[in-house]
Amino acid sequence: MSQENVLPRSEIALEHTWNATSIYPSTEAWEQERQAILDLVPTLQHFQGHLGESPARLVEWFEASETLTRRLMQLYAYASMSYEVETTNQAARVMEDQVMGLFGRLAATAAFAEPELLAIGEETLRRWVSDEPRLKLYEHYVDVLLRLHAHIRSAEVEELLGMVTDPFATASSTSRILTNADMTFRPATNESGASVPVVQGNLDFLVASPDRELRRTAWESYADSHLTFKNTLANGLTAAVKQDVLMARARRYDSA
């Protein structure tokens, strides 16, 4: 990357950008998949009250929820790549927000599962995992679930905790938008006295430059811009800490 010329992300050659089309050929295809997932999430409720019926039924649950989660992760990857390419792209931002809302909906819909699995009992769960080859894949998950038994709440509480997944992401997303999209930096100066633009994308390059003056002024520019918004950033951090404390208390941990 040239020190003197920082191209807008939209002007960077296609071969130097993420190939989001390897996931979906277009935003229209992405939207079709989003709608499909939105329609599929409620179908997970069909498993509620039936996980303890048999090992085969449990396999069906794991496979259905895992498949849906994988599809949702692909949806997120495409939206995230589109947004990170240009953080001022509001359409991409909306896409990412829509995916986060889907994560919250999925978590709330599937909230019954862990309390129901624990109700099966450790002895039965471990026997099923041992006897049913298709459940061996989920043995580690079962181990972790049993270890965290004391912190798994009722289905109603788990549903509520799932519902706050999206709004609880606001503090971190606001900080990211501020620092990556809205925050600007004054130009740095090299040893020759020439101005060099400073952006998030070239900071690592600038602070590793053999030019000491460029390193110093680039870092000071970056730090000063953050200090300008120190109260906003501090308030966002405070909100994130409060959220962590609330979640820790909700799950009966001694501390966050």
Split at pLDDT 50, 70, 90, the class of 21 is: confident
pTM strictly above 0.95: no
pLDDT at 248 over 60: yes
Q: What is the DSSP string of 176-191?
A: HHIIIII---PPEE-T
pLDDT at 2 over 50: no
Tell whether the torsion through CA atoms of 158, 160, 163 and 169 is positive or negative.
Answer: negative
Residue 69 · residue 137 · CB < 8 Å: no
Work out the average pLDDT over 30-49: 97
What are the sequence ranges of the domains in the chain?
9-165, 184-228
pLDDT at 3 over 60: no
Work out the average pLDDT over 200-212: 94
Residue 145 carries which side chain, given as an amino acid letter?
A: L
Enumerate the β-bridge partners of residue 196: 188
pLDDT number for residue 40: 96
Residue 166 · residue 104 · CB < 8 Å: yes
Beta-sheet strands, E only, within the chain = 188-189, 195-196
In angstroms, the CA 238 to CA 174 distance is 13
Residue 56 · residue 66 · CB < 8 Å: no
Split at pLDDT 50, 70, 90, the class of 85 is: confident
Enumerate the β-bridge partners of residue 188: 196
If one compares 196 and 2, the residue with the highest pLDDT of the two is 196
Residue 228 · residue 185 · CB < 8 Å: no
pLDDT number for residue 136: 96
Residue 85 · residue 77 · CB < 8 Å: no
Nearest CA among 222, 234, 214 for reference residue 183:
222
pLDDT number for residue 140: 97
- pLDDT-wise least confident of 73-77, 145-149, 167-171, 235-239: 167-171
Residue 185: phi and psi, rounded to 5, are: -130, 135
Split at pLDDT 50, 70, 90, the class of 90 is: confident
How many alpha carbons lie under 13 Å from residue 133 in its C-beta half-sphere? 0
**Same topology for domains 9-165 and 184-228, yes or no?**
no
Return mean pLDDT, the chain. 92
pLDDT at 9 over 90: no
Residue 85 · residue 92 · CB < 8 Å: yes
Q: Please write the tens of the pLDDT for every residue from 174-189.
A: 898 899 888 999 999 9
Residue 152 · residue 145 · CB < 8 Å: yes
According to CATH, what is the number of the domain 184-228? 1.10.287.830
pLDDT number for residue 10: 66
As a whole-number percent, the residues of the chain with pLDDT over 90 amount to 77
Fold of 9-165: Butyryl-CoA Dehydrogenase, subunit A; domain 3 (1.20.140)
Task: Please name the residues in contact with 185: beta carbons below 8 A apart, sequence gap of 6 or more.
Answer: 197, 198, 199, 221, 222, 225
Work out the average pLDDT over 93-118: 94
Residue 189 Cα distances to 4, 180, 209, 224, 243, angstroms: 10, 22, 12, 15, 41
Split at pLDDT 50, 70, 90, the class of 109 is: very high
As a whole-number percent, the residues of the chain with pLDDT over 70 amount to 95
pLDDT number for residue 256: 82
